[in-house]
Amino acid sequence: MIKLTGVSLARNKRVILEDLNWEVKKGEHWAVLGGNGAGKTMLLKMLSGYLWPSKGEIFVLGKKFGEVDLSALRQTIGWVSFDLQKVVGEVSACEVVLSGYFASIGLYKKPTEQILKRADKLLKFVGLKEHKDNLFSHLSYGEQKKILIARSLISKPKLLLLDEPCSGLDMKAREEFLLFVDKVAKQKNGPTIILVTHHLEEIIPGMTHVLALKQGQIVGKGEKREILTEALIKKVFA
């Protein structure tokens, strides 16, 4: 699903990620854990093709970066991020969900009847079908997150990238959202999930593995039950 070999990322002569070697196999769900500035978000931006590594090789869904049409690849990747939440604009919740099929910000193509039916099904799945015609900006923060999850699932992605999806949510909304993500993780033939967080309590039961980052370097990776130790937590968060 994902393979990074010797991947580094530098910007303005500053090394953000250094010599990453990491592999994600089908059926695994990974939590990417680290403090602020560890490089977690930059890692997701590279996996989605919005940032290019300074060196190393990236394979996503069996496709090597540099040899694949990234716009086509993005249509098989679901992405939920605060950056996306900020730029959606004054459109309805349903339009936001539909735009995910075309991997676009905004709806510029007419969806087919089949895509419209799938959007309705996903709005029901996230419990917001009655809000389909409401402006996205008028929804609560938690509802917006769920709409973005529905958007990310409409093209039936094989990979789902969640960049600190609980940021800004109150305790109740966070618990509801994490239960929902856990439900997606346990779906048969569902997408592989990469969940970025710096909160241990957000590593839901459905996450099978943990990748731990500190100052742009991997300090631990492997099965959750083996890697998530007191020693690792001390190392990651000092």
Q: Please write the tens of the pLDDT for every residue from 114-172.
A: 999 999 999 988 889 999 999 988 998 888 888 888 888 888 889 999 998 888 778 88
Rg (CA), the chain: 17
Name beta bridge partners: 14: 11
Instruction: State the amino acid at position 120 in one-letter form.
Output: D
Task: List the Cα angle 85/185/111 in 5-degree steps.
Answer: 50
Encoded tokens for 29: 């769900």
Domain edges within the chain: 82-156
Separation of alpha carbons 3 and 20, rounded Å: 10
Q: Please write the tens of the pLDDT for every residue from 164-219.
A: 888 877 888 888 888 888 988 888 888 999 999 999 999 999 999 999 999 999 99
The alpha carbon dihedral of 113, 116, 122, 124 has a sign of negative
pTM of structure: 0.86
